[in-house]
Amino acid sequence: MSFLDPARLLLLLALPVLVALYVVVQVRRGKYAVRFTNLALLEKVAPTRPGWRRHLPAAVFLLMLGLFVTGFSRPAADVRVPREQATIMLAIDVSHSMRAGDVQPNRLEGAKDAARTFLERVPDRFNVGLVAFSGTASVVVPPTTDRPAMRTAIDGLSLGPRTAIGEGVIASLDAIAGFGAQFGEEAPPGRVVLLSDGTNTAGRSPEEAAQRAAQAGVPVSTIAYGTPGGVMVQGGRQIPVPVDGPALERLAQDAGGRFYEAASGDELRGVYEDIGSSIGYRVEQREIWGWFIGAGLLLSCVVAAGSLLWFSRLP
């Protein structure tokens, strides 16, 4: 929690002064009562007070003042609020290594299934596009709210040689920039979600792509999909295709996104759900002074009720 007008909190310094005045008044009242030498008469003119309860209204009153001052200082807290719009590009690796069977039935089919689940959970107003990359990258579907078109494109993804991770990011950034141009300065925020299992072997480097993403203010979240023991069969031979998580983690860090690891289809669906949740909300600072003023008013009612109950008067 923070305060938009923290200087007003200096008013809280008045509370210790009030406490000191209250103590002085109580001491003087006690000295005045002792002046009576006739104890029988003292009992009549100063009957037994309700003990510690006589201090309770004063304590609650001071707490009420503290709440009012805190509310007057305009406290604010970070609140998650739904985004109305966003542009998301799914960049999916379709290199030959994605046919490895360490994720059933294979990496590519698991990625397709998780991407479909992601589409179901992303708000309808979000524009989602698709980039496929192997040796090169291409925009299969530009940003759109047409979910059936996206599902059809995901179903039609096919494999190709080599892996151009940097090109996949840059193609996604270009698609987001081109789509956002029609909105001018009111362009919705963009995000790239890249899924791959290997090391960049073609095209521009992931470092260059991350630099461009950082300059554009578009975070790139990466998902390392597969296991270190993954293999693919080619020409009757088994070829190791271990997932290269560190390279994808560096890309995400440099591009202001988050890195995820998914070794199975279930994990991948969970990752997409987490990404969808973070994209679907933004953090805003909102004033919460009403809570403090309301609590102060409630305490004022408690003070009044206690004073009437025990002393038959308002404080």
Cα 164 to Cα 70, 195, 205, 206, distances in angstroms: 55, 12, 8, 9
Instruction: Kindly state the tokens that stand for 221.
Output: 């979240």
- In the predicted model, residues of the chain with pLDDT beneath 50 are 36, 42
> What's residue 91's pLDDT?
96
Domain boundaries, the chain: 2-77+286-311, 84-279
> What's residue 28's pLDDT?
73
Instruction: Kindly state the tokens that stand for 276.
Output: 């969808």
> What's residue 268's pLDDT?
65
| Check whether domain 84-279 has CATH 3.40.190.10, yes or no | no
> What's residue 52's pLDDT?
61
> What's residue 226's pLDDT?
84
> What's residue 156's pLDDT?
95
Beta strands in the chain (DSSP E): 2-3, 75-82, 87-93, 127-133, 137-144, 190-196, 220-225, 231-234, 237-240, 259-262, 281-287
Alpha carbons 161 and 181: distance in angstroms, whole number = 33
Q: Do 114 and 269 form a contact (C-beta atoms < 8 A)?
A: yes
> What's residue 23's pLDDT?
78
> What's residue 197's pLDDT?
87
The pLDDT tens digits of the residues spanning 174-209 come to: 999 999 998 887 788 889 999 998 789 999 999 999
Of 184, 87, 186, which is closest to residue 131 (Cα–Cα)? Answer: 87
pTM of this prediction?
0.65
Alpha carbons 90 and 157: distance in angstroms, whole number = 12
